[in-house]
C-alpha cells in the first residue's frame, strides 16, 4: 500500500529545519521525500496540513512494570527505590503484568514515542507467560520494543556490600533470609521464552538484562551473556547509576563496575548501559572501543538524586548515546519530550562546562531518535528514503507551536507531548486524533484503578516492612557513597 502525506512540514535528517514536503510511504517504509505538489500515482493521500512530521521518539530505557506504580514515592534515592521494590512491583498476577505494560506503552505512544527498550521485572523470576503477555501489550498498542527481563541472582540486600551487617535486628535476620530465584532457573526461563518467542514479526524482540552488576554472581552474569550470544539478544544493564553502587563495585571487584563486566565478556556491540552517571573516563573509552552504548535518563537521575550523567564526555569518547525516561516508578512519566528537555538542561549543569559542552537542540533530537534506535538495534530514527515509517504528527496550530520559530528548539524547549495528534509505526496508524487505536483507554483506566486497589491490599505487609527498614538502608548507602569519588584517571568535564 502507498500512502502520501501532503501539506506537512517535515523535519530534515539533521533536525535543523522543517520545510514543506510530502512523504511517500510504501510497505511500511519511507519511499521518498518529495517537493510539495509532486504528481504521485496510485497512492492514498493523507492531508497533513498544519502538521509537523518528526521521526518517532525512541525510549532508550524504561520499565513496563512501572506503569502501575507511578507516583509511589517521593524522597527516594535509588537505594530507597530498590528497598521499596517488594511492594511497588510485588504480588502481580499475569493480568497485572500485561496491564502495567499496556499503561506504559499507551503513555509512550500518546506522547510521540514509537519504540522502547523495556526492562520488565517479574518476581521471583521471569516467566514465559509473563514475557509473552507483555509482548502482546506492546503489539496491541503498536510500539516496537526490546523486552529484556531485568534479572539478578542476588537480592538488593545481598548485593550491597555491608548492608545486611549494618541493619539492626529484626531487619537483619529477615533481610539475610531473603533469597531470589536460582540463577540457573532465571536463565532457563529466559531461554524457554526465547524458544517460544512469536513476536519478532511485530518488531518486538527479546533481550536479556542482568539488572545491576552487583546483583548478579559472576557465574550468573556469564550465563546471561552465553544465553544472549546463543540467541543474538541485545543486553542492557544499569551500570554506575548511583554513587553507592560505584563504591560497592570498588569494594567487591577492585575495579569499576564496567571493567568487571567487561572482564566477564558482557560488554560488546550488543550491550548498552542504562544511566552511567558514575562511569569514569576510562569506562567511556572502553564502551567506545567495544562498540557499546548508553541510555541517558536525566529525569530519573534527578528524581533519584543520582547525579548528572557525562553525556558530552560519552559522545566525545565515541559512545553511542540514546535518551530514555526510565520506568514510571522512578521518573514518573513516559514523556520523551521531557526527557529531551532534561537532557539538554542537564548538560548545562556541569561545573565549568562552556557552551561547547552543552547539548544543542537538534543534537538532542537526534539522540532521542537515531541514538536510541541504535541501542534497540533498529535502523531508524530519521525521515529518509528506506527508513521505517515510524512517524509522529504534531499540531502546528497548538499553542506550543504558535508561532513556529524553530522546529528543533521548540521540540526540545517547548513541546511536552500535548501537540501529538497522530502516530504511525511501520506505515500503520496507531494513534489517530489522539486516540489509541488498539486499546480501549476507558477500560484500561478502570482496570488500572481496580488492580492498584487490590495490590495495595495484597502488599500491605511487605510495604510496612520496607518503610520500617528504609531509613537504615538510606543511612548505609549514603555512607558508602560518601567514601567514593571519581579518582584522578576518572572523568571530569573538560
Ligand atoms: Zn531502570
CA 330 – ligand 1 centroid, Å:
8
CA 313 – ligand 1 centroid, Å:
21
Which domains can be identified in the chain, with CATH numbers? 55-379 (3.20.20.140)
Q: Which residues of the chain have pLDDT under 50?
A: 488-494
d(CA 121, CA 328) in angstroms, rounded, equals 13
d(CA 122, CA 110) in angstroms, rounded, equals 26
Task: Retrieve residue 392's grid coordinates.
Answer: 509522529
Q: Cα 493 to chain center, whole Å? A: 25
Q: At 51, phi and psi to the nearest 5?
A: -120, 145
d(CA 399, CA 484) in angstroms, rounded, equals 47
Q: Cα 362 to chain center, whole Å? A: 21
CA 379 – ligand 1 centroid, Å:
23
Cis peptide before 403 (omega within 30 of 0): yes
CA 326 – ligand 1 centroid, Å:
5
Task: Retrieve residue 290's grid coordinates.
Answer: 567495544
CA 365 – ligand 1 centroid, Å:
21
* Polymer length in residues for the chain: 494
Task: Retrieve residue 410's grid coordinates.
Answer: 521548540
Q: What is the pLDDT of residues 111-144, one digit of tens each?
A: 999 999 999 999 999 999 999 999 999 999 999 9
d(CA 159, CA 481) in angstroms, rounded, equals 15
Q: What is the pLDDT of residues 198-237, one digit of tens each?
A: 999 999 999 999 999 999 999 999 999 999 999 999 999 9
pLDDT of residue 493: 39
Q: Cα 394 to chain center, whole Å? A: 23
CA 297 – ligand 1 centroid, Å:
9
Q: What is the pTM of this model?
A: 0.97
CA 63 – ligand 1 centroid, Å:
6
CA 323 – ligand 1 centroid, Å:
12
CA 255 – ligand 1 centroid, Å:
23
CA 118 – ligand 1 centroid, Å:
9
CA 61 – ligand 1 centroid, Å:
6
Q: At 196, phi and psi to the nearest 5?
A: -90, 0
pLDDT of residue 485: 76
Q: Please spell the DSSP secondary structure of 453-482, one letter per residue.
A: HHHHHHTHHHHHHHHHHHHHHHHHHHHHHH
Q: Work out the burial of residue 363: count CB atoms within 10 Å of its CB; fewer than 13 is exposed, 13-18 middle, 19 or more buried.
A: buried
CA 52 – ligand 1 centroid, Å:
31
Neighbours of ion ligand 1 (CB under 5 A): 326
Task: Retrieve residue 418's grid coordinates.
Answer: 500535548
Of 155, 135, 139, which Cα lies nearest the Cα of 207? 135
CA 440 – ligand 1 centroid, Å:
28
CA 291 – ligand 1 centroid, Å:
21
CA 274 – ligand 1 centroid, Å:
7
CA distances in angstroms from 97 to 73, 178, 197, listed in the order given: 20, 23, 17
Cis peptide before 124 (omega within 30 of 0): yes
CA 202 – ligand 1 centroid, Å:
24
CA 473 – ligand 1 centroid, Å:
19
Cβ atoms < 10 Å from Cβ of 104: 33
Cis peptide before 170 (omega within 30 of 0): yes
53, β-bridge pairs? 10, 393
CA 66 – ligand 1 centroid, Å:
10
CA 488 – ligand 1 centroid, Å:
28
pLDDT of residue 475: 95
pLDDT of residue 231: 97
d(CA 110, CA 444) in angstroms, rounded, equals 14
CA 156 – ligand 1 centroid, Å:
14
Q: Work out the burial of residue 385: count CB atoms within 10 Å of its CB; fewer than 13 is exposed, 13-18 middle, 19 or more buried.
A: exposed
Query: Based on C-alpha coordinates, what's the Rg of the chain?
Result: 22
Q: Cα 210 to chain center, whole Å? A: 15
CA 17 – ligand 1 centroid, Å:
33
CA 395 – ligand 1 centroid, Å:
31
Judge whether 183 and 220 are in contact, CB under 8 Å.
Answer: yes
CA 192 – ligand 1 centroid, Å:
24
SS3 80: helix
Q: At 190, phi and psi to the nearest 5?
A: -70, -40
Pairing of strands 57-62, 113-118: parallel
CA 221 – ligand 1 centroid, Å:
18
CA 82 – ligand 1 centroid, Å:
11
Of 427, 424, 403, which Cα lies nearest the Cα of 414? 403
CA 7 – ligand 1 centroid, Å:
40
CA 96 – ligand 1 centroid, Å:
19
Of 90, 81, 101, 97, which Cα lies nearest the Cα of 146? 101
Q: Which helix (H) or strand (E) holds 322?
A: strand 320-323
d(CA 178, CA 466) in angstroms, rounded, equals 13
CA 295 – ligand 1 centroid, Å:
10
Amino acid at each position: 500500500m502507498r500512502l502520501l502525506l501532503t501539506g506537512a512540514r517535515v523535519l530534515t535528517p539533521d533536525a535543523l529545519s522543517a520545510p514543506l514536503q510530502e512523504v511517500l510511504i510504501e510497505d511500511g517504509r519511507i519511499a521518498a521525500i518529495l517537493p510539495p505538489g509532486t504528481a504521485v500515482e496510485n497512492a492514498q493521500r493523507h492531508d497533513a496540513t498544519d502538521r509537523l512530521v518528526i521521526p518517532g521518539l525512541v525510549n532508550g530505557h524504561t520499565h513496563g512494570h512501572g506503569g502501575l506504580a507511578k507516583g509511589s514515592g517521593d524522597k527516594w534515592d535509588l537505594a530507597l527505590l530498590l528497598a521499596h521494590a517488594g511492594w511497588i512491583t510485588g504480588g502481580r498476577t499475569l493480568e497485572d503484568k500485561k496491564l502495567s505494560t499496556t499503561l506504559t506503552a499507551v503513555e509512550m505512544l500518546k506522547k510521540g514515542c514509537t519504540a522502547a527498550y523495556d526492562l520488565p521485572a517479574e518476581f521471583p523470576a521471569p516467566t514465559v507467560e509473563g514475557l509473552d503477555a507483555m509482548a502482546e501489550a506492546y503489539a496491541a498498542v503498536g510500539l516496537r520494543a526490546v523486552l529484556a527481563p531485568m534479572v539478578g541472582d542476588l537480592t538488593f540486600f545481598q548485593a550491597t556490600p555491608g548492608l545486611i551487617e549494618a541493619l539492626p535486628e529484626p531487619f537483619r535476620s529477615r533481610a539475610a533470609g531473603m533469597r531470589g530465584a536460582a540463577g540457573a532457573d532465571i536463565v532457563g526461563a529466559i531461554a524457554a521464552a526465547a524458544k517460544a518467542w512469536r513476536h519478532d514479526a511485530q518488531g518486538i524482540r527479546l533481550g536479556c538484562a542482568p539488572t545491576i552488576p552487583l546483583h548478579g554472581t559472576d557465574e550468573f552474569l556469564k550465563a546471561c551473556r552465553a544465553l544472549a550470544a546463543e540467541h543474538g539478544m541485545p543486553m542492557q544493564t544499569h551500570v554506575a547509576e548511583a554513587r553507592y553502587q560505584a563504591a560497592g563495585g570498588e569494594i567487591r571487584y577492585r575495579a569499576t563496575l564496567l571493567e568487571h563486566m567487561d572482564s566477564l565478556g558482557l560488554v560488546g556491540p550488543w550491550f548498552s548501559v542504562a544511566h552511567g552517571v558514575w562511569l569514569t573516563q576510562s569506562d567511556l573509552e572502553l564502551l567506545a572501543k567495544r562498540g557499546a552504548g548508553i541510555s541517558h535518563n536525566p529525569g530519573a537521575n534527578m528524581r533519584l538524586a543520582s547525579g548528572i550523567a557525562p553525556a558530552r564526555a560519552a559522545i566525545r569518547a565515541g559512545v553511542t548515546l540514546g535518551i530514555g525516561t526510565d520506568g514510571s516508578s522512578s521518573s514518573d512519566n513516559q514523556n520523551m519530550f521531557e526527557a529531551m528537555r532534561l537532557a539538554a538542561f542537564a548538560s548545562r549543569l556541569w561545573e565549568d562546562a562552556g557552551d561547547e559542552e552543552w547539548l544543542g537542540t537538534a543534537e538532542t533530537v537526534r539522540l532521542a531518535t537515531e541514538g536510541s534506535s541504535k541501542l534497540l538495534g533498529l535502523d531508524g530514527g530519521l525521515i529518509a528514503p528506506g527508513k521505517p515509517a515510524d512517524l509522529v504528527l504534531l499540531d502546528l496550530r497548538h499553542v506550543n507551536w504558535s508561532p513556529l520559530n524553530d522546529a528543533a528548539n521548540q521540540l526540545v524547549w517547548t513541546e511536552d507531548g500535548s501537540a501529538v495528534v497522530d502516530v504511525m509505526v511501520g506505515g500503520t496508524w496507531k494513534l489517530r486524533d489522539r486516540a489509541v487505536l488498539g486499546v480501549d483507554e476507558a477500560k484500561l483506566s478502570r482496570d488500572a484503578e481496580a488492580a492498584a486497589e487490590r495490590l495495595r491490599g495484597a502488599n500491605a505487609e511487605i510495604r510496612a516492612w520496607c518503610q520500617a527498614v528504609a531509613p537504615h538502608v538510606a543511612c548505609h548507602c549514603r555512607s558508602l557513597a560518601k567514601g567514593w569519588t571519581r579518582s584522578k584517571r576518572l572523568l571530569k568535564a573538560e
